Structure 1
């Protein structure tokens, strides 16, 4: 059975995978544009869209929850002040993934992930 298997493994350690998605989400929030592999972009969408949904209403609990998840105060303030009001009346689909091409070394698919 497929219990508790929400994310892909990527052949990484769990701590490394957690820090990878924290860093990817911080850079996506900071620049609002990210170029990465297609599978990482799909996983980043699963990781980040619930956090955007949580940041729509400001409360102490939501702020502390995002501190535990993202661990960057500047990114959290940008989520609450700029990004969440932009999508206040939307129920999902905050991120768009565009296929870009292939990597030169291993021919894996590249993609852009941006806020729609």
Structure 2
């Protein structure tokens, strides 16, 4: 016989624990907020959030799975028609636990568990780095400098640099890039 192994025990046996969690979940969905012991609230949180996730799916199979846990059809109807649309944009964290202090009679720690029904602002997804199309890189020819032919190449390289600048300007449409290309070519000559 399967017995619950996770968390503190909330009753005499596993069947009593399942019934207690189902009743707490039904009360939570009916009243939107309940006050109970801290231990019960912590055990109820994943149980209720799983049922809300089923309600967000909204199909017949999900409704039947929730009905198998919570026997009251009015509570299940309220969960599927009222609560699920309010948390449709939320990706989890449907409940909030607030500690309230200690109970007067037996000093048990008390907590309030409530549904988080406030609208959520979806997080903006980070933009990709390479969204804008880039211009094709222009390859510059490698100019080898030789001492005896330096004077003859000066005039030829100036014409080549001007031609390169025009190509860069046409490719990018940027006059500054063309000036940078000519400045780099002149710096290489020196």
TM-score norm. by structure 1 comes to: 0.90
CA deviation profile, 1:42-100 (whole Å, cap 9, x unmatched): 11101110110111022111111111011110111111111011111111100001111
- In 1: Cα distance, 2:44 partner to 2:88 partner: 21
Q: CA deviation at 1:106?
A: 1.9
RMSD: 1.3
Partner of 1:60: 60
Partner of 1:109: 109
- The higher relative CO (CA closer than 8 Å, separation ≥ 6) is in 1
Partner of 1:51: 51
Can you give the 5+ residue segments of structure 1 that lack an aligned partner in the other structure? none
Can you give the 5+ residue segments of structure 2 that lack an aligned partner in the other structure? 117-190
Q: Which runs of 4 or more aligned residues in structure 1 lie more than 6 Å from their structure 2 counterparts after TM superposition?
A: none
- In 2: Cα distance, 1:71 partner to 1:11 partner: 20
Q: CA deviation at 1:7?
A: 4.0
Secondary structure at the aligned position of 2:57 is classed as: coil
- In 2: Cα distance, 1:52 partner to 1:101 partner: 28
State how many pairs are aligned.
113
Secondary structure at the aligned position of 1:71 is classed as: coil
Change (3 A) 1:66 1:11: closer
- In 1: Cα distance, 2:106 partner to 2:55 partner: 37
Q: Which has the larger Rg? A: 2
- In 2: Cα distance, 1:69 partner to 1:11 partner: 18
- In 2: Cα distance, 1:5 partner to 1:13 partner: 11
Partner of 1:74: 74
Stretch moving more, 6-15 or 80-89: 6-15
The structure carrying a bigger strand percent of its residues is 1
Asked if the contact 2:11/2:17 (under 8 Å) is kept, the reply is: no
Change (3 A) 1:31 1:11: closer
